[in-house]
Amino acid sequence: MIKIAICDDEPHFIERIEKMLRVYEEKSKQSFLIKKYEKPLKLSGAFKEGFQIYFLDLQMPNMNGLELAKAIRKIDDRAVIFFVTSYREYVFESFQYDVANYIIKPITQIQIDSEMNRVLRKLNTFGQEYLTVKNEKGYLKIYFSDIQFIETYGRNVLIHCQDGKKEIGHFKMQDLEQQLGSSSFIRCHNGYIVNVDYIKGIHELTVKLLPGDIIYTTKTRKKQLIKKLAERMGMV
């Protein structure tokens, strides 16, 4: 299911975009969860919903579309953002937020169909499974494909990402095992869950990852770890 947020301070524009998305949904056999917001601050308080596509007006009270896009990019660099507006003068400023397109109202069904065809191909290219992490920074979206490994960190966990970032998450390891129900993750040690796609090699009970990190496995878990790695490499 694709999660979509529409934010515009004029309700008839929201209803028009939703109607066209529903037409596209039926034609394309997709499944959409669409949520509508007339106030940008309401949407900014709902980022934990994990929207994958945003349709944003530019001129809105209290928080404009550019400010909203900036807030989105702080937590999610992959979400698809469309600006749908009557104003042409912000087009160049808008692209600093890596927007998918800047659409001048009134939007048409042909435009919706074309844009959705394009962005859904992009979304399907990415691994779109993700964790929603809550910590002192607020809510963050971390994609499974970006996670190298996770280790226990006091009563929390520390999530190590491929870009070198580390995020604390309020999880129990056993709960994460269920949420990371992906073929690339395995708990290799009581204190570690590893994404086997990042494993460079295993020597005795030491696991070396591609970026150079070292983690550990146990005798009882090593056999399953090697099996999982072989499955991902297509060797079994």
Q: What is the DSSP string of 104-138?
A: ESSP-HHHHHHHHHHHHHHHHHS---EEEEEETTE
The answer to whether residue 130 sits within a structural domain is no
Q: Is the Cβ–Cβ distance between 81 and 100 less than 8 Å?
A: yes
153 has a pLDDT exceeding 50: yes
Residue scoring higher pLDDT (22 or 30): 22
Q: Are residues 166 and 96 in the same domain?
A: no
Q: Are residues 116 and 9 in the same domain?
A: yes
Count of CB atoms situated within 10 Å of the CB of 173: 16
Question: At 68, is the pLDDT very low, low, confident or very high (cuts 50, 70, 90)?
Answer: very high
Give, in order, the Cα–Cα distances in Å from 213 to each of 18, 131, 209.
46, 22, 5
Residue scoring higher pLDDT (181 or 26): 26
Chain-centre distance of CA 42, in angstroms?
Answer: 20
234 has a pLDDT exceeding 80: no
Q: Is the Cβ–Cβ distance between 189 and 214 less than 8 Å?
A: no
224 has a pLDDT exceeding 60: yes
Q: Are residues 197 and 142 in the same domain?
A: yes
Q: Are residues 157 and 91 in the same domain?
A: no
The count of structural domains within the chain is 2
pLDDT tens figures, 99-139: 989 999 999 999 999 999 988 887 765 556 888 898 888 88
Chain-centre distance of CA 178, in angstroms?
Answer: 18
Spatial distance between the Cα atoms of 136 and 158, rounded to a whole number of angstroms: 13
Q: Residue 120 is part of which domain span? A: 2-125
Q: What is the CATH number of the domain that holds 73?
A: 3.40.50.2300
Q: Are residues 39 and 101 in the same domain?
A: yes
Q: Are residues 110 and 201 in the same domain?
A: no
**What is the three-class DSSP state of 230?**
helix
Spatial distance between the Cα atoms of 228 and 236, rounded to a whole number of angstroms: 9
Give the chain's mean pLDDT.
89
Q: Are residues 28 and 110 in the same domain?
A: yes
Q: Give the pLDDT mean for 79-83.
A: 94
Last residue of a domain, one of 88, 103, 125: 125
DSSP-assigned states of every residue in 52-84: SEEEE-S--SSS-HHHHHHHHHHH-SS-EEEEE
Q: Give the pLDDT mean for 211-221.
A: 93
